[in-house]
Every structure is written in structure tokens, then in C-alpha cells.
Amino acid sequence: MSFHAALRNGTKSVFLRVEEAFDAPFGGQDNPLRHLGAMGLYLLWIVVGSGLYLYTVLDTGIDAVYNSIGYLSQEQWYLGGVLRSLHRYASDGFMLVMLLHLVREWSYGRYYGFRLYSWMTGIPLIWLAYIAGIGGYWIVWDQLAQLSATATTELLDWLPIFSEPSARNFLSSDTISDRFFTVLIFIHLGVPLLLILGLWAHVHRVSQVDYLPTRRVMLATAAALTLLALLRPALSNPPADLATVPGELAFDWFILFIHPLTDLTSPAIVWSLLFGLTALLFALPLLPHAKAQPVAVVDPANCTGCDRCHVDCPYAAISMAPHPDRPGFKLAVVDPDLCASCGICAGSCPSSTPFRRRATLLTGIDMPQLPVNALRQQLEQALEKLSGRTRILVFSCARGAQAMPLASADTAVIELICTGMLPPAFVEYALRCGADGVVVAACRGGGCDFRLGERWTSERLLGDREPHLRHSVPSSRLLVLLGSAHDSGALANTLSEFRTRIETLGVATDRLPPYLRSASHHA
Amino acid sequence: MLKPAAIVGQVILYGAFAAFIGYFATSPTYHQIPDDVALIKLSISHLGDRDCRQRTPEELAKMPPNMRAPMDCPRERSDIRLEVDLDGQEVFRTVLHPTGLYKDGVSTVYKRFEVKAGSHQLTVRMDDNLTKPGFDFVKDEQITLAPHQVMVIDFNPDQGGLFFK
């Protein structure tokens, strides 16, 4: 294993453990660590909303700008002061969440293949976020702004981009005019607008985007930041005085860390680090990584153009085009560059029902590495081999809890690429072909590697999403467990409890009528 | 419905998130330079001299009447030699080159020196025409710097050349 792979796996393990620990109080959907992108967007909207108010009351003059911002904190602390603090703390939160999002996506290996576009479009956003953040501090024009402006221009001057050193603009107070702040505010509005545009591009190729976290998370985050704003309001340092070097300053390490780093090292080292890290992030997809899996394949003869795969695909890899052979019908078309090879589309296809009459089950959209026909054959063979009082079939996600070790004489395990690829009719089919119970072991809520697999699986099996499991299937014989790779023990325990529960049903009256495909009238 | 333990857990974690942000948004404080230190910024942006020569009457006669400029000045600017001494010690020596593809732009320098606050003898010498010997501009002065004070060494021909601010 390479150093990079070892580092990535180690980081992933830490993230997984912490995320799973957070699941206890938050649950999957409310777990902020599982929705860092949405958290970042939410914090950005707080920054934008509070910033709009600050913009309306800001007076752009050398002295006026400091006084008008100071007025907010001193005289209008209940509104302007709180909004100013929210603006700062949400910006810091955004930086923190953005960094965590970056490291998490890297550690989960989400930087190549179908995720390449999102990865590449995300990297420039980091630069934009820091440009906007650093520029925002200058507007206050206090001693921290002075330090940042001087240090930033000195850093920029190391690059051969200006004919005259830009730091000369901050030599003395008479070199700065009111116009400077007008330009600064223009930049501080323009760069975040670019950031929002970049974010749109960043999520452009993802469907069902979580633009915002859940309402509960939003309320709790807003409450926490507002409380912080009240308890520790953001205040200005003393006004800027270019004739002196600022003394001890309250310092924002989330945004301005680059200045102490430059003081500690040198502009050459800082630029090397910044450009090197950026180049490294861009080059990550070139490093060795897992081989791409075969993508979904559409069978025009069996595609009804129903649109469900198009709706359910987590990566917008499927579009609908006019069917070449059936006028008035549509045909699913897979974009291989965007396909995640998760099989969620196969699970959504109504043609994937195993009750179909043909000896070879052909469906509208299928995975070459695990076609639904092979899945049906695997299921039938597994059920044939099962013996014992209570025969249970487990459909498990290959990336979730380890179910294979649970296979035994009375327990069969079928591993899926993602449980989202399981057509719900397979559950009924298993129960009618000899299984006493079916367990579907999906990933934890919000923990699906393909984003939506566990959600679609649950909704389909609960009858909330098409194709749904028929209501005639007794719920007592189906168990859906949401668990991660660390929940293998919990899966074993739950399976044991499930078996006991079924056995206590005795000669159950809820058993479905048997179905033998070869003897059915369809055959 | 959330369990009480989950509510407590969420309150603790959201509180920790806010506390983390609140702390590192202002702390620890940062000191850019020590308390007993002042800063000298050397910042000069100046066009080097040009090596002009007087055109001869014969040369002028050959030129169109509207172009008979008495001086023939090349486009290129001279390098600038700059020296800074503090208390008799060399602290900076450089030769600034003109910017621009044709070397016709300004020569610039921006340097910062951290020095102990107090009295110092500061000497700056600048030569903006290297074809002539010696320095055209020299500024030698006893300066007193307060802690954290910023003193700028600049050049402006309209202000008599080198000056301290």
C-alpha cells in the first residue's frame, strides 16, 4: 500500500468513527459531518444575508468606514452588532466546514472518475473563499485590517505581477483614499458572487443536491452562532495607523493564518506551499486509484422510458432521449463519464421484477457486473440450498456491514454493489420462493457512498417511492438495517433477534403463497 | 422525537462547534513584531537616468524640422545602485533594474527591516546613473525610532531626492 493510500485510509477511518459517533445524538439526516457541503452552503447564505445588511449601513470613507462599523457593534449591538458577528463567525465556520469537506471527500476517495468534475471545480473555490475572507477583513480598516493589507500586498509583491510594489499603497495614511474602500467593497461583493457561481458549477453534475441541511440542523447552527455573537461579539481592533506596526491583536486564525505563516517562514515558502498544494489537489486524480467499474447499460427493447432511473440517479448520469424504435416513447441514455456504477438505476427499473416470465430476466437498464438475471439466479440457488427451521436471506451492501460471515445453512447472503440496486420485488420473490424472512442491510442514513442508495432503498421498501414493495408483503418478515462497515456485530445481533421474532410467529398466517417460476402460468 | 440524551449530546456538540469558532476567531492573539522593535520600510520607485547626448548641428540639420530635438536620449533607463547602512553597518546593497521589455520602466524596491527602537544613524545612498561615478543622492541622518514605529525611506525628486518619513 502506498503512503498516500495509507494516509487516506487512516483519515477515512477517523472520519468514519467520528461520523458514526455523531450518529448517536444526531441521527443520519441531521448529522452535520455527513452533510458538510450543505452545511457550507448554509453558512455561506448566513454570510451573504448578514453581509447585505452590513453593506447597506457601511460608509465608505477612511475614517467613516471604521466608525460606521464601530457604530453597529457599540450602538446597534442588538441588530447590526449581532449581524456583524454572525457575518464573521459564519465566515469562519464556512472555512472550517470547507476544509473538513475537502479532507473528507479526499479520504473517501471522491476525487476521480465520475467525481472528477466536482473535485476539479471545487479547488478554485478555496482560493475564492480566502480572497473574499481576507478582503473582508480589510474593510473594517482597523489595525488587523492594516496588518492584513500590508502583509498581503507584501506577499503579492513577491510574485512578478506588479510593475510597482503594491505594498507602496500602504506606506502612509496619505497614500490611501476613500476610493480604495469603494474598490474593496466592489471586490468583496464580486468575489463571493464568483464563489456562488463556482458552487453552482461544483454541484452541477449532481442530482438531488442537498442545497441546505435539514431544518433542525439549520436552526441549531443559527442558534449556536447567534448565542456566540451575543456572548462574544465581533469587535474592531483600534483604528489603522500606518505610521505604526500594530501591537497585540485579536486574530482570526481561520482566515488570516497565512500572515503569521509568512512571518514565520518567507513569501517564497508560502507561495510554494499554496501553489504546491493546489497543484497536488489538481493532480490527485492522476495518482493510482481503484479501477473504474462497468457502467450501467440500457436495453432499448426493455426500456419503457418511464423516467425512474433518470429521477433516481444520484449523479445525473441518465438522460431521456426519444426512443429510436418506438415513436412517442423515451429511452434512457447513460453518460459513461458520470455513471457511478452503483446500480441504483437497475433497482429503480420496473422491468427488473423477478416475476417476469422469461427464462432470462432482461431489464431496461442493468449492471454488467451484476445483472438482475444473475441476481435472480443467485437468489434461487441460495434459497434452494437453505435448510433449517427459519431460512433468512440477507441482501447486503458491499460497502456496509459485513454480512458474508453470517452465511450459514439457514442464512444466505447476497452482496450488492449498493442496496439501491435491489428491485423491491426481489424481497417478495424471495419470500414466495422459500425464505421465511428477508434482511436488507443498507448503509447508515446519509452514509451511502453513492449518496442516495440507503434513502431510495428505505423509501421503496416502505412504499413511499416507485417501484415500491407491494403492501401485501408482511412487514414482520422484512427487516431493513442501516449500518456501516463498523456495524457488522450489530447486524449479527439484529439478524439473530429477527430470526427469534420470526420463529415466535409459529405457523404464521402471514406467509405469502409460494411462487415457482418454472411452474407458474407465466412460464 | 429526540431522546433527552440526544438533545444533550446535540447541545454539547453545537456548543463545542460555536466555542471552537469563537476561540480561534480571536485567539490566540498575534504579535507581528516584538514590543521593543520598530520597522524601517525601504520603498523606492524611480526611473533611472538616461545617458543623453547633445546632437551636433550637422545631425540636427539632417533631421526633419519638426523632429530636431537637441538631445538624443535612448529609451533604456540606467540601473540604480542603492545602499543602506545602519549605525555604520551594511544592511542592504542592491542594484535595481528597470522594468519593461525595453528596460524603460521604473526601478523599484520594497524591503522591510526590523530594528531595535532607539537612536540610530541611518545612511542611504542612491546612484541612478551607473555610467557616472559616485552617488547622486545621499541621505545621512540620526533617527530616533519609537517601539512599533514605522519609518519609510522613499525617494521623490520633487522633495529633494531621498527622504525619511
Q: Is the pLDDT of residue B31 over 70?
A: yes
Interval B92-102 mean pLDDT? 92
pLDDT, residue A523, reads 39
**Least Cα separation, residue A66 to chain B (angstroms):** 18
B-facing residues of A in 416-445 (CB < 8 A) are none
Q: What percent of chain A has pLDDT over 90?
A: 80
- Strand spans (E) along A387-442: 392-397, 411-416, 437-442
What is the chain B residue with the closest CA to A260? Answer: B32
Question: String of b and e for B134-160 (b: at least 16 CB within 10 Å)?
Answer: eeebebeeebebebbbbbbbbbeeeee
Which grid coordinates are listed for A481? 438495517
Most B CBs within 10 A among A137, A245, A249, hence the mutation to make, goes to A245
Q: How far apart are CA A333 and CA A305, in angstroms?
A: 10
Which of A335, A332, A323 lies closest to A295, judged by CA?
A335
Distance of CA A49 to the CA centre of its chain: 24
Q: Does the beta carbon of B99 lie under 8 angstroms from any beta carbon of chain A?
A: yes
For A171, counting Cβ atoms within 10 Å of its Cβ (0-12 exposed, 13-18 middle, 19+ buried), the class is buried
Enumerate domains of chain A plus CATH numbers.
Answer: 3-286 (1.20.810.10), 297-519 (no CATH)
Q: Tell me: the pLDDT tens digits for A75-116?
A: 899 999 999 999 999 999 999 999 999 999 999 999 999 999
Interface A-B, measured as beta-carbon pairs within 8 A, has a size of 125
CB contact under 8 A, A224 and B108: no
Q: Which of A93-97, A164-168, A489-493, A519-523 is the least confident region?
A: A519-523
The residues in A 214-273 lying below 8 A from B, measured between CB atoms, are 220-221, 223-225, 227-228, 231-232, 234, 242-254, 259-260, 263
Comparing alpha-carbon positions, the chain B residue that sits nearest to A85 is B22
Of B26, B39, B45, the CB nearest to A168: B45
Which H or E run contains B43?
strand B37-46
Q: So what's the pLDDT on residue A520?
A: 54
Rounded to an integer, the average pLDDT of A29-47 is 95
The residues with which A249 forms a beta bridge, in sequence order, are: B30
What is the rounded CA–CA span in Å between residue A235 and residue A237? 7
Mutation target vs A (from B3, B11, B21, B29; most A CBs, 10 A cutoff): B21
- One-letter amino acid for residue B119 of the chain: S
Answer whether B6 sits within 8 Å of A24, measured CB to CB. yes
Q: Mean pLDDT, to the nearest integer, of A43-49?
A: 97
Residues 91-120 of A with CB under 8 A from B: 92-93, 96
Residues A245, B148: C-beta atoms closer than 8 Å: yes
A154 lies within 8 A of chain B by CB: yes
d(CA A103, CA B26): 24
d(CA A28, CA A484): 11
Of A85, A86, A53, A59, residue with least CA distance to A236: A85
Pick among B1, B7, B8, B10 to test the A interface (most A CBs inside 10 A): B10
Instruction: For B97, name the nearest residue in chain A, comparing CA atoms only.
Output: A163
- Please compute the mean of the pLDDT values over residues A273-285 and round it to a whole number: 97
Could you tell me which residue, A514 or A447, shows the higher pLDDT? A447
pLDDT band at A508 (very low <50, low <70, confident <90, very high): low
Smallest CA–CA separation between B53 and chain A, in Å? 28
Band of pLDDT at residue A423, cut at 50, 70 and 90: very high
pLDDT score, position A334: 97
How much is the average pLDDT of A128-154? Answer: 95
Beta strands of A208-337 (E only): which ranges?
A: 297-298, 318-322, 330-334
Q: Spell out which residues of chain B touch residue A242, defining contact as CB-CB under 8 Å.
A: 150
pLDDT of residue A503: 86
Say if B105 is an interface residue toward chain A (CB within 8 Å): yes
Q: What is the pLDDT of residue A61?
A: 80
Conformational region of residue A397, where left means phi above 0, alpha means psi within -120 to 50, and beta covers everything else:
beta
Q: Quick one: pLDDT at residue A507?
A: 58
DSSP-based three-state secondary structure for B71: strand
Of B21, B35, B148, Cβ closest to residue A89: B21
Tell me which residue in A154, A224, A254 faces B25 most closely, judged by beta carbons: A254
| Predicted confidence band of residue A506 (pLDDT cuts 50, 70, 90) | low
Residues of chain B in contact with residue A40, where contact means CB-CB under 8 angstroms, are: none
To test the contact with chain A by mutation, choose from B40, B110, B152 the residue with the greatest count of A C-beta atoms within 10 A, namely B110
**Residues of chain B neighbouring A248 (CB-CB closer than 8 A):** 29-31
Place of cell 479532507: A103
Mean pLDDT of A285-309: 93
The reply to whether residue B150 touches residue A242, judged by beta carbons under 8 angstroms, is: yes
**Within an 8 Å CB–CB cutoff, is residue A147 touching chain B?**
yes
Asked if A89 is an interface residue toward chain B (Cβ–Cβ < 8 A), one would say yes
Contact between chains at B110 and A165 (C-beta distance less than 8 A): yes
8 Å CB contact of B29 and A252: no
- Chain A residues within 8 A of B28 when measuring between CB atoms: 251, 253
Q: What is the mean pLDDT of residues B131-157?
A: 92
User: Would strands B89-96 and B80-86 be described as parallel, antiparallel, or unpaired?
Assistant: antiparallel
Q: Does B150 touch chain A (CB under 8 A)?
A: yes
User: Which chain B residues are Cβ-neighbours of A151 within 8 angstroms?
Assistant: 32
Q: Which residue of A has its CA nearest to B6?
A: A25
Task: Give A144-158 pLDDT, tens digit per residue.
Answer: 999 999 999 999 999
pLDDT (tens digit per residue) in B35-93: 999 999 999 999 999 888 899 999 999 999 999 999 998 899 999 999 999 999 999 99
Is the peptide bond preceding residue A423 cis, with omega within 30 degrees of 0?
Answer: no
**In whole angstroms, what is the distance from residue A500 CA to residue A503 CA?**
5
pLDDT tens for A425-475 read: 999 999 999 899 999 999 998 889 999 999 999 999 999 999 999 999 998
pLDDT at residue A81, rounded to an integer: 95
Q: Are residues B6 and A248, on separate chains, in Cβ contact within 8 Å?
A: no
Q: B158 to chain A nearest CA, in Å?
A: 17
- Examine the pLDDT at A516 and tell me if it is beyond 80: no
Model pLDDT, residue A162: 86
Chain A contact set for B77 (CB, 8 A): none
Q: Which of these ranges, A139-153, A205-219, A278-292, A502-516, has the smallest mean pLDDT?
A: A502-516
Distance from C-alpha of A182 to C-alpha of A141, rounded to nearest angstrom: 13
ipTM of this complex: 0.89
pLDDT at B131: 85
Question: In angstroms, rounded to a whole number, what is the distance separating the alpha carbons of residues A129 and A136?
Answer: 10
Mean pLDDT of chain A: 93
Cα dist from A103 to A11, A33, A109, A111, B120, whole Å: 8, 12, 10, 11, 51
Interface test with B, best of A42, A168, A264 (most B CBs within 10 A): A168
Write out chain A residues lying below 8 Å of B22, CB-based.
89, 228, 231-232
Indicate if the pLDDT at residue B157 is higher than 70. Answer: yes
Contact A248 B29 (CB under 8 A): yes
Tell me the mean pLDDT in the region A159-174: 88
- Could you identify the residue written with the cell 465608505? A60
| Grid cell 437468489 in the structure block, residue | A379
What single-letter amino acid sits at A334?
V
Q: What is the pLDDT of residue A518?
A: 65
Q: Region A492-509: what's the mean pLDDT?
A: 85
- Whether residue A167 and residue B43 make contact (CB cut-off 8 A), yes or no, is yes
Strand-pair partners of A297: A366
Q: Which residues contact A325 (CB under 8 A, 6 or more apart)?
A: A300
